[in-house]
Amino acid sequence: MTDDEKARLIEAARSARETAYAKYSHYRVGAAVLADDGAIYPGCNVENAAYPQGTCAEAGAIAAMALGGARTIRGVAVAGGKADTQPEDDPWGLASPCGGCRQRIAEFSKASVPVIIVTPHEVMLETTVGALLPHAFNLQE
């Protein structure tokens, strides 16, 4: 992933966060995946009055990627946190992908694929798919 792709990926996740439908938790999340076709696919969380029906931002981004015809992820950015709060004051600051989304991401990624976790203010953590989900379930191996 180039520096330019990384910057565009982060911007796409932050922009997607603005569109989130987080009526119940009030915690907006945006995600974006960079695919091997060079496109960046964004998604946001979409909640529901029947709470378990809500979907994570990562799920939306992966659905958009599949719809676009891509099948391989080269990079992931996830944006959470509150725009009006500085990270050091914000206990919700780290929008680390949930367990289910780690498995969703791993389905389309090598272990070395970078995952960048950001707030509206700054980059919080740069890690990899393999670090987030070691020994991932995989039917092919």
CB of 4 to ligand THU, least distance (A): 25
Pick between residue 41 and residue 47 the one whose CB is nearest to ligand THU: 47
**Residue that has been written with the tokens 């969380």 in this structure:** 45
CB of 23 to ligand THU, least distance (A): 9
Q: Which residues bind ligand THU (CB under 6 A)?
A: 22, 25, 27, 29, 45, 47, 54, 56-58, 97-98, 101
Angstrom distance (rounded) from CA 33 to CA 25: 24
Pick between residue 101 and residue 118 the one whose CB is nearest to ligand THU: 101
Q: Catalytic residue, from 58, 88, 107, 122: name it.
A: 58
CB of 127 to ligand THU, least distance (A): 13
Pick between residue 25 and residue 112 the one whose CB is nearest to ligand THU: 25
Q: Identify whether the C-beta of residue 99 lies closer than 8 Å to the C-beta of residue 57.
A: no
Pick between residue 40 and residue 117 the one whose CB is nearest to ligand THU: 117
Please give the span between the terminal C-alpha atoms of the chain, in angstroms, as a whole number: 26
- The verdict on whether 58 is a catalytic residue reads yes
Q: Identify whether the C-beta of residue 55 lies closer than 8 Å to the C-beta of residue 46.
A: yes
Angstrom distance (rounded) from CA 37 to CA 68: 9
In which region does residue 69 sit, left (phi positive, over 0), alpha (psi from -120 to 50) or beta (all else)? left
CB of 25 to ligand THU, least distance (A): 4
